[in-house]
């Protein structure tokens, strides 16, 4: 069952390195504005987007598999039908990253697979208002 408890959400939001899958280079889009907010709050945001080279002055990676080092949270801004493949990429990594599916994004089967593999998952919830409510 996806994480909904405020104490556990606070703990997750206390993590630092966030790979944003589907990060957008276009100001005004949620997939740009939410990661920008996270950077402003001190998070180490790693953009993942195969169609951009640089976002927020940071190197962009083509896929989650290409991101070097450990990732604490995989923040997903892709359509629900792409979640299964992203979860597979997250599970193939050596880190134990939380999988965070942004508002409107859900895939119950992929969530169940991730949880069975020992991963925590947040589903259909935006990081920015959650952060503002619990930590700001």
Per the structure block, which two tokens stand in for 2? 């996806």
Q: How many CA atoms lie within 13 A of 67 on its CB side?
A: 29
Helix (H), strand (E) at residue 8: helix 6-13
pTM: 0.96
**CATH node for 6-134:** 3.40.50.720
Those residues whose C-beta lies under 8 Å from the C-beta of residue 36, and which sit 6 or more positions away, are 56
Locate the domains of the chain by residue range: 6-134
Please tell me the predicted confidence (pLDDT) of residue 112: 97
Rounded Cα gap, residues 62 and 54, in angstroms:
11
Question: 6-40 pLDDT, tens per residue?
Answer: 999 999 999 999 999 999 999 999 999 999 999 99
Per the structure block, which two tokens stand in for 50? 């195969």
């Amino acid at each position: 069952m996806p994480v909904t408890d405020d104490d556990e959400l606070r703990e997750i939001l206390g993590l630092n390195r966030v790979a944003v899958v589907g990060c957008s280079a276009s100001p005004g889009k949620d997939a740009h504005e939410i990661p920008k907010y996270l950077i402003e709050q001190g998070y180490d945001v790693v953009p993942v987007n195969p169609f951009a080279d640089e976002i927020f002055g940071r190197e962009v990676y083509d896929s989650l598999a290409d991101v070097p080092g450990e990732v604490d949270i995989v923040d997903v801004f892709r359509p629900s039908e792409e979640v299964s493949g992203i979860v597979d990429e997250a599970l193939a990594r050596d880190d134990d990253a939380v999988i965070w599916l942004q508002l409107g994004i859900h895939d119950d089967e992929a969530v169940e697979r991730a949880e069975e593999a020992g991963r925590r998952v947040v589903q259909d919830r935006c990081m920015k208002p959650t952060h503002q409510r619990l930590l700001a």
